[in-house]
Amino acid sequence: MGFDAIVVGAGPGGLACAITAAGAGARVLVLEKAADIGGALPYSGGHLSAGGFSAQRERGIADDPERHLADIRRISRGTGREDLTRLSLAEQPAVLDWLLAAGFEIDPATPRIVYGHEPYTTPRTVHAAETPGGPAILRTLRRLLRPLTEDGRVTVRTGTRVTGLRTEGEAVTGVTTEDGRGTPAPAVVLATGGFGHAPDLFAELEGAPLTTSAAPTSTGDGLRMARRIGAGLQGLGQYIPTFGGLPPEGDDPRVDWLNRPQLVAAERPPWEIYVDRHGRRWIAEDEPSIDRKERVLTGVDRMTFWMVFDARALRESRPMVHGWTPADLDARCGRRRGLHRAAGLAELAERAGIDPAGLTAEVARYNAAVAAGADPAFGRRHLPAPIAEPPFYAVENHPVTLITFAGIDVDARLRVRRADGGAVPGLYAVGEVIGSAAVNGNAFCSGMCLTPALAFGRIVGRHLAGAPASAPASAPTSVGEREPGGA
């Protein structure tokens, strides 16, 4: 049996593409190297966003894609691509309504404004009530996929790693799998995710320390294959870390993202200070902009810092780490990497790898600021108590890669482009493989990792089944950049 398209990768973008294409009459083969479908969804927080979908209307929230675009322009400072951002935002309300119609249940407290990223001006982010929310989305996609696999319109092969793209001239005509077998198709869609679990690619393309919450399968397979046939890249130089996570344990660069320090000042006013390995503070810990914290962190040595606090802070602050009580944190000190406790500041610094003299002097300066009711160094306003009651604590934090920013260059029909800008016939790419910077630019915009993957998957799926192209091909432009002749 022949296939109209091969989708490489069964994450959100690949599944949305296969479901949409098959629903419109195409025969689709989905190849997934993991033992099960889902990609990063089992690990994902599952945040989705759109401007002008049904849940907003039901709650009387006025919104539309243009308002969503305005927020993205503001947050990203115009560093994303206008063409791809508009393309995704126009589709995103339909994406959310599609999932809701298929039984996806959102948390009743949503749509809401999320403060873990730079906030929108309008409540437009939704997620499941369960944590993490990605598995609930995966269950919904399984329900949509099941009838298509049962009647043969979609064939899913898990445990099947694609190792190369078959070509004739400049066109892609199929794929080769790890066993050496070739499978032909007139169209191939790369939906293989990012490279957050590939230290070599991460060092080359993002150039930053790698601690990650990415799926173990995020090894850049699609990007490597596309580069071998001359595909261009986009999003270089746009990397920004997510602000803070506990260090990984052992040799695996993956961190425990569920149990991460609570560093959003709007949700937990800080009792601690942040210091670098020299013991110096580097920002007002109650800085309301998480985006500013992430940007300043890029200038800190190895992007590593420590939360330093005392027994009173542990006792009276809201919990310092998601999912842990104060007793949990205290019990893990000295047993888990990055968690330290000591009777004195100098001893604490020695255990944590911080300069003892630097830390002792910095805590003295901070305590003087608390006594004076003003922080002349950084302008911190929340000064609840000095760091003075032993024992003292230090919690090590690293930058965390949730998603990779660089990726395969595509045009506004999601066709892969060569380095010279020409489209590669028969080859498309959707999801994280095109890089988060395509729509987010040099920033994190709530719901704009997962939702565009689903949106672009649906758009390509319709095209594969013969529907009109959703947008004209065009050169990449930055969000906020004028088109020639534009107003």
- Per-residue pLDDT reduced to its tens digit, 226-270: 999 999 999 999 999 999 999 998 888 888 888 999 999 999 999
Q: Which residue has the tokens 């590939």?
A: 198
Map out the domains of the chain with their CATH numbers.
5-236+402-464 (3.50.50.60), 246-399 (3.90.700.10)
Residues paired with 231 in a beta bridge: 418
- Kindly state the percentage of the chain with pLDDT values over 90: 91
Q: How far apart are CA 166 and CA 327, in angstroms?
A: 57
- Per-residue pLDDT reduced to its tens digit, 121-152: 999 999 999 988 999 999 999 999 999 999 99
Model confidence, pTM: 0.92
Q: Given a cut of 60, is residue 306 above it in pLDDT?
A: yes
The pairs formed by 284-291 with CB atoms below 8 angstroms and a separation of 24 or more are 284/375, 284/378, 284/379, 284/380, 284/381, 285/380, 285/382, 286/380, 286/381, 286/382, 289/118, 290/115, 290/116, 290/117, 290/118, 290/243, 290/263, 290/264, 291/75, 291/117, 291/118, 291/443, 291/444
pLDDT, position 480: 38
Out of 67-71, 244-248, 387-391, which region has the weakest mean confidence (pLDDT)?
244-248
Q: How far apart are CA 217 and CA 198, in angstroms?
A: 9
pLDDT, position 428: 99
pLDDT, position 1: 67
Q: How far apart are CA 89 and CA 95, in angstroms?
A: 10
Do residues 221 and 460 make contact, with C-beta atoms less than 8 angstroms apart? no
> In the numeric block, which tokens belong to residue 115?
């403060």
**What average pLDDT is seen over the chain?**
94
Tell me the average pLDDT across 351-368: 99
Q: Quick check: helix, strand or coil at residue 448? A: coil
pLDDT, position 250: 82
Between the CA of residue 186 and those of 28, 168, 468, what are the distances in Å?
Answer: 11, 11, 17
Between the CA of residue 327 and those of 46, 118, 131, 247, 311, what are the distances in Å?
Answer: 29, 31, 22, 20, 11
Which H helix or E strand runs over 341?
strand 339-342
For the chain, what is the largest distance between any 2 Cα atoms, rounded to a whole number of angstroms?
A: 78
Between 110 and 479, name the one with better pLDDT: 110
Between the CA of residue 176 and those of 28, 181, 238, 430, 432, what are the distances in Å?
Answer: 16, 6, 32, 20, 22
pLDDT, position 253: 85
Between the CA of residue 354 and those of 191, 209, 250, 393, what are the distances in Å?
Answer: 42, 19, 21, 12
pLDDT, position 467: 57
- Per-residue pLDDT reduced to its tens digit, 158-182: 999 999 999 999 999 999 999 999 9
> In the numeric block, which tokens belong to residue 382?
């929340």
Question: Who contacts 45 (Cβ-Cβ below 8 Å, separation ≥6)?
Answer: 127, 131, 132, 133, 134
395: closest CA among 280, 479, 303, 274? Answer: 274
Out of 83-87, 301-305, 352-356, 480-484, which region has the weakest mean confidence (pLDDT)?
480-484
Q: For residue 234, report the phi and psi dihedrals to the nearest 5 degrees.
A: -140, 165
Classify 149 in phi/psi space as left (phi over 0), alpha (psi -120 to 50) or beta. alpha
Tell me the average pLDDT across 272-299: 97
Between 32 and 472, name the one with better pLDDT: 32
pLDDT, position 408: 99
pLDDT, position 485: 33
pLDDT, position 484: 29
